[in-house]
Amino acid sequence: MTGPILTPLEFREAPEGAEAAAIAFRARMRTRRSVRDFSDRPVSRETIEALVGAAASAPSGANKQPWRFVAVSDAALKREIRLAAEQEERLFYEKRASAEWLRDLAPLGTDPSKPFLETAPWIIVLFKCMRDDRPDRTSDLVYYANESVGIAAGFLIAAIHHAGLATLTHTPSPMAFLQKVLRRPEHERAFLLLPVGYPAADAKVPVIVRKPLEDVLVFDRPE
Site residues for ligand IYR per CB under 6 A: 89, 92, 105, 108, 110, 170-173
In b/e form, how buried is each residue of 184-223, taking b as 16+ CB within 10 angstroms?
A: beebbbbbbbbbbbbbbeeeeeeeeeeeeeeeeeeeeeee
Which residues, including other chains, have CB under 8 Å from residue 146's CB and lie 6 or more apart?
Answer: 128
CA 135 to chain centre: 26
Nearer to ligand IYR, 7 or 98 (CB): 98
Cβ 132 to ligand IYR shortest distance, Å: 30
Element (H, E) at 161: helix 145-162
Whole-angstrom distance, CA of residue 48 vs CA of residue 84: 24
Q: Which is nearer to ligand IYR, 116 or 198 (CB)?
A: 116
Count how many Cα atoms sit within 13 Å of the Cα of residue 220 in the half-sphere of its side chain. Answer: 2
CB of 37 to ligand IYR, least distance (A): 14
Helix, strand, coil percentages for the chain (3-state, nearest 5):
40, 15, 45
Shortest distance in whole angstroms from residue 205 CB to ligand IYR: 13
CB of 129 to ligand IYR, least distance (A): 23
- Give the nearest distance from C-beta 123 to ligand IYR in angstroms: 13
Nearer to ligand IYR, 117 or 159 (CB): 117
DSSP string, 40-71: -----HHHHHHHHHHHTTS--GGG---EEEEE
Taking the least distance from each CB to ligand IYR, the nearer of 38 and 92 is: 92
Q: What does the alpha-carbon distance between residue 104 and residue 102 come to, in Å, rounded to a whole number?
A: 5
CB of 79 to ligand IYR, least distance (A): 18
Give residue number: closest CB to ligand IYR.
Answer: 110
Q: Which is nearer to ligand IYR, 86 or 133 (CB)?
A: 86
Q: What is the spatial distance between Cα 140 and Cα 187, in angstroms, rounded to a whole number?
A: 11
In the complex with ligand IYR, the residue whose CB is nearer, 172 or 199, is 172
* Nearest-angstrom CA–CA distance, 52 and 70: 10
